[in-house]
Structure 1
Amino acid sequence: MFERLVNLYQGWVIGRPKLTLSLLLLLTVGLAMGLPNFKLDASADSLTLENDSDLDYFREMTKRYQSGDFLVVTYKPHVDLFSDESIETLIQLRDELAHVDGVTSVMSMLDVPLLYSPQVTLAGVTDTPRTLLTDDTDRALAKQEFLNSPIYRDMLLGPDGQTTALLANLDIDEKYIELVRHRDSLRYKRTHQGLSPEEEIELANVSKEFLDYRTAAAVESHARVDEFRSIVASYQDRAELFLGGGTMITADMIDFIRSDLVVFGTGIILFIIATLAIIFRQWRFVLLPLATCIMAVVMMLGFLSWIDWRLTVISSNFVALLLIISLAITIHLVVRFREFHAENPGWSKQQLVWETVSVMARPCLYTALTTMVAFISLVVSDIRPVIDFGWMMTIGLAVALVLAFVLLPAGLMVWPLGDAKDEGDNSAAITLKFSRFTENHGSVVFWVSVVVACVSVYGMSKLEVENRFIDYFHESTEIYQGMSVIDQNLGGTTTLDIVLDVDNSEDPLLFAQEGGVEDDPFAEADPFDEPDPFEEPDPFAEADPFAEADPFSEQNPEAQPANSYWFTVAGLEEIEMLHDYLESLPEVGKVQSLATAYKVATDVNGARLNDFELAVLKRSLPEEIESVLVAPYLSEEANQVRVSLRAKETDPNLRRMELIDKIRDYAINEVGFKPEQIHFSGILVLYNNMLQSLFKSQIVTLGAVFLGIMGMFMVLFRSVSIALIAIIPNLLAAGVVLGGMGLAGVPLDMMTITIAAVTVGVGVDHAIHYLHRFKREFAIDGDYVASMHRSHASIGRAMFYTSITIIVGFSILALSEFIPSIYFGLLTAFAMFAAILGSMTLLPKLILLVKPLGKPQVDDHRLAQAA
């Protein structure tokens, strides 16, 4: 079998290079034809955990409380906010936003009911409420209400009295929710129970339908954001405005991904050209590796487009990584080809190419496989974009390896042989300095490594996952500026909902009965219930705020008080206690719940209402007030309430897990709720779940990488000692970067979580190439020290070149608009520097110390000195 493959390779790649190149070109063009269908994904689904039950609960609560997505426009006019000119501008802005397709309503300070300007009576609550646009409204009083009332404080008017917000509520996409929940339920069943053939087909169909629908919805959403931006831009001469909201962030993230793909791709390709030109100074060794790298990326992007596999913020780095790693493989081949050509100028082109391929096949195959193991270990993560990134890189590396051993040799066969110019390369002088240092100061290398390892372990113990979403963006971006304004002036940005169920051990009707409705002996037998035909009409009857909601009226059975526990004194006092606690927390901004309605009712009544009065009041509220104070926070069907808060992302003390734990502890131990009554939902919960999974993912990923690569080394070297020697410098490099992050206070995020796997996976390539060459050199004379020097002077040069390429290539990610990508690029570059330093010093030192290849065959005093 192996001989057939060898003959097939020689017959096509070396024997028919032009035909081989033509077929590769046709395949590339065929895959590239799918590129017009290439798609990016920055939806909330791409930033959440795989099979997160909280995500499904979040969608359910979104439907139940109609708390869909929204866009926020902050507005700070150049004139006084409450002047006629500013109000007129605000009206125009509101009306334009309201006419954007997909906007169901726009809430602003113009439209909300005013209950303190002046303060209404309990009877007045049932009237059509006053608004800021009512003719006789006192704007000074209204301003004080917006600043101080329990309804609007920290929501519609900033502390400066000049910054307000317009909240554009968007349609709740119920079809989207139904499709994704259907898909996820089938996925869950497939994982835990298995699917029938019919269900497999159903899953495939619903997955495709969901992706198609989400694509169309994303296009509409992006167009809506663009229209909002266009409207906002037309008012910039009259006010300072910023756009915010989840939909806007998603749209901008798509733009960031697209920009990063162009910037990274262009920057790295230019870097590849410059690097190859400087190192090799021959066109064939510039164009052929460049063609290999570009073709690998085009093939993979085309393949992803054909199967509709979308890039996310994390996997967008896949293009840069694939270019860099493809280049590293080709550099090893080119360096070895040039060595053979310089040493054997009389060899034919066929012999040079075949010797290069046959000698480099095994180390390159194993370096590619170990790197694949590192990336495929990411699939054990619970984070969908990390999983996708792992699979994409694994497949991409396989494509890059095949192309390097097909396109480059075939290209060399077609290209004229040219002169051997390897003798002009002086890089060996640099690499030999490392081997001499290791020979003369080996103990320093060893003990410095031990100290660095200890410090790294300590630093890793300081690693955190808490980070602020706002810090993912540059201060110059609209996302950052808009979030800052909303956070500091309008009550916070990240939503957290505390959903409370009724205690099932209690009878929920009991509390309504305590109001006296069912116990009233006159309720059914009041002789005055029937109208008196001789009685004159009461001219004040319509002025009675409770006339429409008379609980005793048999003619108006629909006006009976509700039996919801949560709209009783007992229920509202529990909610109010929790509400007040939440408002006392420094990292919490605006809090909204039924307690707000209770506070307002107490203010307008001058005293707390009893259960009966609360029930009657609820039935009497006009829709304008009920939709603001009650409907968003009470589900009578589910006998459930929602307490909604917004956390301040700019607060440096925000610790999401600690915040959730504090709230749960207070609700249980101080308010008296049972644990099963309390549920948490919202964006803060989903984001926190993703962050908390990072520690687990980091440990599991590193463990999977270590075990996988150890297994590969055992197969390759058939020696436990060599396997350990090979992996130790790379684990140290990963530890250095993770420990450095912990000491510097740089938290783990969804990008930096992959650094350790990437470092070990790419770093062990050096160890494999070095050890493979060291074994060949050792077989010559059995001299460990001499073998080390010869290895540094030969394969060490290729390691030096590839390391420079990888380090600078990753550093190009610093050009990103997305801060985690910058961290990922710079930290990985630092880790790769540590990896090459370890491979050039610690790795040979461990070889000299352990002597894994057996006793030296020469008696050389240098061995004792090195040890």
Structure 2
Amino acid sequence: GIIFILLAFIFRNLRGIFLPLSVVIFAVIWTMGAMAILGRPMSHATEIMPILIMAIAVADSIHIISHFYHHVSLTPDPVARTITRATMTEMLSPVVMTSLTTMAGFLALGTVGAESISELGYFTAFGVFSALIISITWIPAFLAILKIPKRYRGKESRRHAADWVEKWGFFLVRRQKWLMPFIVLMTLFSIWGISRLQHSFSSVENFPVDHPVRFANEIVNEHFAGTTSFDIMIEGREPGDMKDPVLLSQLDELKQLALKIDHVGSVQSLADFIKRINKVLHADDPAFYTIPPIEARVTGSEWVEKNGGWVEVSKEYTVSGEELVAQYLQLFEMSGKPQDMSNLVDYPYRHAKVSIMINSDKQSTLRAIDQELTTYINENMNRNENISAAITGMAKLFLVVDDLIVKGQIWSILTSLLLVWVITWAMFRSPTVGLFNTIPLFFALFLNFAFMGFAGINLNLETLTISSIAIGVGVDYAIHFVHRYRIKLREGLDYDAAVPATMREAGLAIFFNSITVAAGFSIIAMSQFVAIMEMGVLITLTMLTAAFGALTILPGVFLTFKPKSLAR
């Protein structure tokens, strides 16, 4: 609905509304059909894919139709077929290249390592490719056969908007000496915001503050042992290894260590049961609430013959601690509730688990606990050749995902930037010009991360996708501006005069395109799922900052340095 309204405002005719919408519909259908054919289910990541495609697929058609009407306005007696041919001759290269760079941005998500995020990248890239094919075939075909309304012939439509962006170009030329200080100031401001950026992975925080799930989680963490756990999995070489008193003592020592760490709510292990049984069998004497030693002195009795009869006398026996533990476990198995231990040890007593409940899911807290546990395990348990221990559990999963987020963010940014640079290098046949196209991207990324830092939005698995999307989609605006700016330079305009001329022809389409795409992405911001909502806000912001970078930062660089490679 929002895209429909914006298209109606931009073009003010039916073909300007329904031709772009038809591209969107076909692109979404093709992509969803491809997922169904390949048997890929929808996930928490790919559920936003149709909205992404809807917002992106409309971009090429806006540029094509805008330039079509621009040519119509310059021709007193235009012929639809001739105007369409001129439009596609001029626009085919930038439209194809912008689609390829957008695809590159999404394909870079394949380096993240999370399957759902990778699938989002792959299938959205396919949707962008579908939109490209439809845009360069379907739309020109209809523009060529539809009659041009008389009101568009020989006069420029949307003159006020075109005048506005042209005046912006003149303003930049007049104030060009202030542009570089402005860019430096914005960069420093962004670095300050980025320094405040935090990264975390918490599924509970994705629910609204007043949601029952989040409220219940806070109650359990505050009044009980907690909702997050570290599980230490211990594996012996042979069945029965978990009966070793030395190992059980280490489990008990690990428990005492863990309980001293902040935010540890409780610890459970096989050692707790052995200590309890040992105490009960010694008349509940607290002194026996321990793990039996390696060799234990046990007082018993036996019957001996004396003076022609049998008498009972006391006697001390030496029993191995492992044998004593085995007897305790056998007694417990006969108690009628052996299942009480089933989540801590298996029946052959070769595998055991230590469950540590945590009443916080903050990354800094979990990482500190993980380091303490890892140090103890490596210095004690893993030195025993007969056993091996490893840390698992939801808390460990959160930390692994957190590391994945950081590494994935770095790799996705580097991969997408490299692909964009190579594609634009090939398009403009100049590595320098290709590098110019990445300037607005750095500006948009810096502002995006700075906003996250100031707004307290954490870098998580959902916001991880934003950088690649911003690079892939945001570079479109730079490509269109650079492409038109080079044409103006080759027509004989100087660097100053080419800026307002480019603004009038390409700037208007970039402005309308960014507004439309941002509006399409803003739908995601209406989600009740906090991470998806934040993703929608950030993508919307990034589209606007990328357009601002193309219409302000890029001209500022050109006016300041006047690179000769652009005029070649």
Normalising to structure 2: TM-score of the pair? 0.86
Q: Does 1:438 align with 2:172?
A: yes
Measure the CA separation in 2 of the matches of 1:689 and 1:333: 45
Measure the CA separation in 1 of the matches of 2:118 and 2:208: 27
**Structure 2 match to 1:779:** 490
Q: How far apart are 1:327 and its partner, in Å?
A: 1.1
**Structure 2 match to 1:660:** 370
Measure the CA separation in 2 of the matches of 1:617 and 1:855: 84
Measure the CA separation in 1 of the matches of 2:410 and 2:48: 22
- 1:810-837 Cα deviation digits (max 9, x unpaired): 2221111221111111112222222111
User: Contact 2:105–2:416 at 8 Å: present in 1 too?
Assistant: yes
Measure the CA separation in 1 of the matches of 2:209 and 2:566: 61
- 1:149-180 Cα deviation digits (max 9, x unpaired): xxxxxxxxxxxxxxxxxxxxxxxxxxxxxxxx
Q: Does 1:571 align with 2:247?
A: yes
SS of the aligned residue for 2:337 comes to helix
SS of the aligned residue for 2:229 comes to strand
Where in structure 2 are the equivalents of 1:379-418 lying within 5 Å? 379-418=110-149
**Structure 2 match to 1:324:** 55
Q: How far apart are 1:752 and its partner, in Å?
A: 0.9
Q: Does 1:483 align with 2:217?
A: yes
User: Contact 2:201–2:401 at 8 Å: present in 1 too?
Assistant: no
Where in structure 2 are the equivalents of 1:292-441 lying within 5 Å? 292-421=23-152, 422-441=156-175
User: Contact 1:725–1:847 at 8 Å: present in 2 too?
Assistant: no
Where in structure 2 are the equivalents of 1:163-182 lying within 5 Å? none
Q: How far apart are 1:458 and its partner, in Å?
A: 5.2
2:185 is aligned, of 425, 433, 451, to 451
- 1:773-794 Cα deviation digits (max 9, x unpaired): 1122222223221111111011
SS of the aligned residue for 2:354 comes to strand
User: Contact 1:664–1:678 at 8 Å: present in 2 too?
Assistant: no
SS of the aligned residue for 2:437 comes to helix
AA matched with 1:789: P
Q: CA 1:420/1:336 → structure 2, altered by over 3 Å: closer, same or farther?
A: farther
**Structure 2 match to 1:587:** 263
User: Contact 1:579–1:595 at 8 Å: present in 2 too?
Assistant: no
Measure the CA separation in 2 of the matches of 1:435 and 1:623: 86
Q: Where in structure 2 are there 5+ consecutive unaligned residues?
A: 293-320
Measure the CA separation in 2 of the matches of 1:577 and 1:565: 18
Q: CA 1:740/1:272 → structure 2, altered by over 3 Å: closer, same or farther?
A: closer
AA matched with 2:172: T
Normalising to structure 1: TM-score of the pair? 0.58
AA matched with 2:10: I
- 1:791-811 Cα deviation digits (max 9, x unpaired): 101110000001111222222
Q: Does 1:830 align with 2:541?
A: yes
More displaced stretch, 712-721 vs 382-391: 712-721
**Structure 2 match to 1:558:** none
Q: How far apart are 1:455 and its partner, in Å?
A: 4.1
**Structure 2 match to 1:632:** 343
Where in structure 2 are the equivalents of 1:738-757 lying within 5 Å? 738-757=449-468
- 1:167-194 Cα deviation digits (max 9, x unpaired): xxxxxxxxxxxxxxxxxxxxxxxxxxxx
Q: How far apart are 1:690 and its partner, in Å?
A: 1.9
Measure the CA separation in 2 of the matches of 1:456 and 1:855: 29
Measure the CA separation in 1 of the matches of 2:503 and 2:348: 75
Instruction: Calculate percent identity across the aligned residue pairs.
Output: 24
- 1:461-483 Cα deviation digits (max 9, x unpaired): 55433232210112344433443
SS of the aligned residue for 1:679 comes to strand
Q: How far apart are 1:450 and its partner, in Å?
A: 2.0
2:563 is aligned, of 844, 849, 852, to 852
- 1:555-595 Cα deviation digits (max 9, x unpaired): xxxxxxxx835335433222111122223333233322113
Measure the CA separation in 2 of the matches of 1:489 and 1:771: 60
SS of the aligned residue for 1:347 comes to coil
Q: How far apart are 1:489 and its partner, in Å?
A: 4.0
User: Contact 1:342–1:420 at 8 Å: present in 2 too?
Assistant: no
AA matched with 2:375: D
Q: How far apart are 1:654 and its partner, in Å?
A: 5.2
- 1:723-763 Cα deviation digits (max 9, x unpaired): 22221121221122123324544321111111111111111
**Structure 2 match to 1:467:** 201
User: Contact 1:292–1:400 at 8 Å: present in 2 too?
Assistant: yes
**Structure 1 match to 2:276:** 600
SS of the aligned residue for 1:335 comes to helix
- 1:349-385 Cα deviation digits (max 9, x unpaired): 1112222222111110011111111111111221111
More displaced stretch, 728-737 vs 447-456: 447-456
AA matched with 2:273: A
Q: CA 1:272/1:748 → structure 2, altered by over 3 Å: closer, same or farther?
A: same
Q: How far apart are 1:501 and its partner, in Å?
A: 3.7
How much is the aligned-residue C-alpha RMSD, in angstroms?
2.5
AA matched with 1:643: V
- 1:510-547 Cα deviation digits (max 9, x unpaired): xxxxxxxxxxxxxxxxxxxxxxxxxxxxxxxxxxxxxx
**Structure 1 match to 2:531:** 820
AA matched with 1:590: S
User: Contact 2:200–2:363 at 8 Å: present in 1 too?
Assistant: no
AA matched with 1:732: F
Measure the CA separation in 1 of the matches of 2:12 and 2:226: 57
Measure the CA separation in 1 of the matches of 2:354 and 2:78: 80
Q: Where in structure 1 are there 5+ consecutive unaligned residues?
A: 1-269, 509-562, 858-867
User: Contact 1:373–1:709 at 8 Å: present in 2 too?
Assistant: yes
Q: Does 1:674 align with 2:383?
A: yes
Q: Does 1:843 align with 2:554?
A: yes
Larger RCO: Structure 1 or Structure 2 (Cα < 8 Å, ≥ 6 residues apart)? 2
SS of the aligned residue for 1:591 comes to strand
Measure the CA separation in 2 of the matches of 1:398 and 1:855: 28
Q: CA 1:813/1:791 → structure 2, altered by over 3 Å: closer, same or farther?
A: same
Measure the CA separation in 1 of the matches of 2:34 and 2:159: 39
Q: CA 1:809/1:688 → structure 2, altered by over 3 Å: closer, same or farther?
A: same
User: Contact 1:729–1:842 at 8 Å: present in 2 too?
Assistant: yes
2:2 is aligned, of 271, 274, 280, to 271
AA matched with 2:206: Y
